Chain A
Amino acid sequence: MPEALLELQEVEARYGPLVALHGISLKVDEGEVVAVLGANGAGKTTTLRAVSGMVRRSGEIVFAGKRISRSSPEALARLGVAHVPEGRGTLTDLSVRENLRLGAYVRRDRAGVREDEQRILGYFPWLEQRAGQRAGTLSGGEQQMLALARALMLRPRLVLLDEPSLGLAPMVTAEIFRIVGELNEKEGLAVLVVEQNAALAFEASSRAYVLEAGKVAVEGSSDELRRNESVRRSYLGY
């Protein structure tokens, strides 16, 4: 069986004395879109932050065969993991173009970066017109798309996407997920997406993990989980 792209084994994470994750195990294969679901406070965002190294954690985390259980966030970018944080992490005082450029900060291949910039602008054509605009003036949905575009500038092997629907209108969110799906199909991009909106997440992903109180409560194929009423009612509230 081929090695998973990203694998977490019994990962614990804490904020000071508060333990947020009590031993999470999950994996993402190449080219897969995997969703992490659950109610508020279940530990979804913390899971992504544990992968990136933004929270104190213990346990095994392996990315593309490399142990990253002790790696710093800066190192993750250099390994090809792009993390779009909760709230988008837009660099509000910088321009749209500058935000995009920073996405490729760790890359050394100037030609490749320029190529990618063109390709990415193809997915988000409106970004080109707004290139000089201050990123903070974009709407929530636009900022989310900018954050995604910026992540793509890394030419990542894996994108960690934290609550893309947060604060956005359903139509905008649907568009974002549509683009994620397209990227996954066309470019084989692997995505680990944390989402509050379970319905959308099930649609966009092939597998899903449902968290509760810092542990994985249920896992399986998105199709099956979506049809499972008791799962939906117990953990996802619908």
Chain B
Amino acid sequence: MIFAFDWTQLAQQIVIGLASGGVWATLAVALVLIYRSTGVVNFAQGEMAMFSTFIAWSLVNHGLSYWAAFFLTVAISFVAGVAVERVVIRPVESAPVLTVVIVTLGLFFLVNGAARWIWTPEVRSLPNAFSTRPIDVGGVAFSIQDLGNIAVSLAAVGLLWVFYRFTKLGLASRAAAVNPEASRLLGVRVSWMLALGWGLAAAMGAVSGMLTAPALASFDQNLMQPVLLYAFAGAVLGGIDSPLGAVVGTMLLGVLVNLVGTYVDWVGTELQLPVALAVILGVLLIKPTGLFGRESVRRV
């Protein structure tokens, strides 16, 4: 029996998977940022990203080009993220962790409700970031949009990495997350570093939203809820305290989910979400800290 394997399709599905994963990656990095600085998972990250996407839509609606709206939205989202931290998180900075978790849950409802109130439910869409033409790479057709999504996601994460690794502020931010007390003694305004973290996370979320929306014919306020789940799954897979893990985890997850959906018949596309959930549970049962996360040493 001759076994003919369609390598072209595999390559295409991998790229598609990487593209979805890339879009989830930026949201996952946002989750990791908040987790490392504030110690909580921000359940409202997706809704904040959704809100940013609606802002982008309004800007486009008022005549801006997609990319002008993109960058302006990222800037606005950054400021909004800082504001959210100062107003809502700072008051509970020293409260027990679960209290902060509940605050983020409250934020989930608040942001979702605000988005529903400001933008009435009607069919909306964002223009495509990239052309939808296919491009030929080595004889295989890939969508420019997919490649573009991968590029933008990696660029966003890359810029973030450069900030944290090479700038003074980024260094101070990392120090504040590692040892807040010692950092204060060095003159680092730890409280503001937290706000910075939230601003950057919001900006990353905005990128995620603005890449998610154009791929759909239309979007509404529920846009980011599945994305949040995938971002969680990817972040858990990669290690919830590792930004690199978030990127690798989500891209791996994207490829995995897509390949399983393509090649395993009974999964199809409806069961992709449960696959993600299964990944979360599987990782947590086998190695909770994920691929790149660090085992925290229990201090006696």
User: Do chains A and B make direct contact within the complex (CB under 8 angstroms)?
Assistant: yes
A interface residues with partner B (beta carbon < 8 Å): 52, 54, 72-74, 76-78, 82-83, 85, 89-94, 98, 101-103, 105-106, 150, 154
**Size of the chain B interface, CB-CB below 8 angstroms:** 17
Q: Are the C-beta atoms of A91 and B182 separated by less than 8 Å?
A: yes
Residue of A nearest to B294 (CB): A93
Does A89 contact B171, Cβ atoms closer than 8 Å?
A: no
> B189 — which chain A residues lie within 8 A by C-beta?
74
* 14 examples of A-B residue contacts, CB within 8 angstroms: A52-B185, A54-B181, A54-B185, A85-B181, A89-B185, A90-B179, A92-B178, A94-B171, A94-B174, A101-B168, A102-B171, A102-B175, A103-B186, A106-B186
Q: How far is the CA of A82 from the CA of B184 in the complex (A)?
A: 11
Judging by beta carbons under 8 Å apart, are B179 and A89 in contact? yes
Chain B residue, CB-CB nearest to A93: B178
| A78 contacts B181, C-beta separation under 8 Å | no
Point out the residues of chain B lying under 8 angstroms from A76, CB to CB.
185, 187
Min CB distance, A29 to chain B, in Å? 23
Is B125 in the interface zone, CB < 8 Å from A? no
Once A89-B179, A94-B171 are accepted as A-B contacts, the answer to whether A102 and B186 lie under 8 Å apart by CB is yes
Tell yes or no: B228 within 8 A of A by CB. Answer: no
Report the bound CA distance from A102 to B171 in whole Å. Answer: 8
A90-B182, A91-B182 are contacts. A78–B174 as well, Cβ < 8 Å? no
Residue of A nearest to B189 (CB): A74
Contact indicator B185/A77 (Cβ below 8 Å): yes
Judging by beta carbons under 8 Å apart, are B171 and A83 in contact?
A: no
Interface centre among B168, B182, B189 (most CB of A within 10 A): B182
Establish whether residues A93 and B174, one from each chain, have CB atoms under 8 Å apart when the complex forms: yes
Q: Does B272 contact A (CB under 8 A)?
A: no
Alpha-carbon distance A13/B12, docked complex (angstroms): 66
Contact status B172-A92, CB under 8 Å = no
Interface residues of B in 166-219 (CB under 8 A from A): 168, 171-172, 174-175, 178-179, 181-190
Interchain CA distance A72-B185 in the complex, whole Å: 9
Q: CB-CB < 8 A to A106: which residues of B?
A: 186-187
List chain B positions with a Cβ less than 8 A from chain A: 168, 171-172, 174-175, 178-179, 181-190
Distance A82 CA – B183 CA, assembled complex (angstroms): 11
The 7 closest A-B pairs by CB, nearest first: A89-B182, A77-B187, A106-B187, A73-B184, A83-B185, A93-B178, A91-B175
Q: Is the CB of B187 within 8 A of A105?
A: yes
Tell me which residues across on chain A come within 8 A of B188, comparing CB atoms: 74, 102, 105
Minimum CB–CB distance from B56 to chain A (whole Å) comes to 35
Contacts of A78 in B (CB 8 A): 187
Given contacts A72-B184, A91-B178, 13 further A-B contacts (CB under 8 A): A74-B184, A74-B188, A74-B189, A74-B190, A85-B185, A89-B181, A90-B179, A90-B182, A98-B174, A105-B168, A105-B187, A106-B186, A106-B187
Instruction: Tell me the minimal C-beta distance from B9 to chain A in angstroms.
Output: 43
A-side contacts of B172, CB under 8 Å: 102, 105
A91: chain B residues within 8 A (beta carbon): 174-175, 178-179, 182-183
B182→A85 contact, CB < 8 A: yes
Once the chains are docked, how many angstroms separate the CA of A90 from the CA of B186? 11
B137 to chain A, nearest CB (A): 38
Cβ contacts under 8 Å, B184 to chain A: 54, 72-74
Bound complex: CA A72 to CA B188 (Å): 11
- Smallest distance from the beta carbon of B285 to chain A beta carbons, Å? 27
Chain B residues, Cβ within 8 Å of A89: 179, 181-182, 185
The distance in angstroms between the C-alpha atoms of A94 and B175, with both chains bound, is 7
Chain B residues near A90: list those with CB within 8 A. 179, 182
Contacts of A52 in B (CB 8 A): 185
Contacts of B187 in A (CB 8 A): 74, 76-78, 105-106
CB of A73 within 8 A of CB of B175, answer no
A-side contacts of B190, CB under 8 Å: 74
Q: Chain A: which residue is nearest B187 at the CB level?
A: A77
Closest to A92 in B: B178
| In the complex, residue of chain B having the shortest beta-carbon distance to the beta carbon of A98 | B171
> How close is B212's CB to chain A, nearest CB, in angstroms?
32
* B-side contacts of A83, CB under 8 Å: 185
> In the complex, which residue of chain B has the Cβ closest to the Cβ of A79?
B187
Within the complex, the shortest CB–CB distance from A237 to chain B, in Å, comes to 26
Inter-subunit contact B171/A77 (CB<8 Å): no
B179 and A92 within 8 A (CB): yes
Chain A hits for B179, CB < 8 A: 89-92
Task: Give chain A residues whose Cβ lies under 8 Å from the Cβ of B174.
Answer: 91, 93-94, 98
Q: Which residue of A lies closest to B190 (CB)?
A: A74
Tell me the bound Cα distance from A85 to B171 in angstroms: 20
- Closest Cβ of chain B: how far from A56's Cβ, in Å? 14
Most B CB contacts (10 A, CB to CB) among A54, A89, A91 go to: A91
What B residues does A73 contact at CB under 8 A? 181, 184-185
Contact B182 A94 (CB under 8 A): no
- CB-CB under 8 A from A105, the residues of chain B are 168, 172, 186-188
B178 proximity list for chain A (CB < 8 A): 91-94
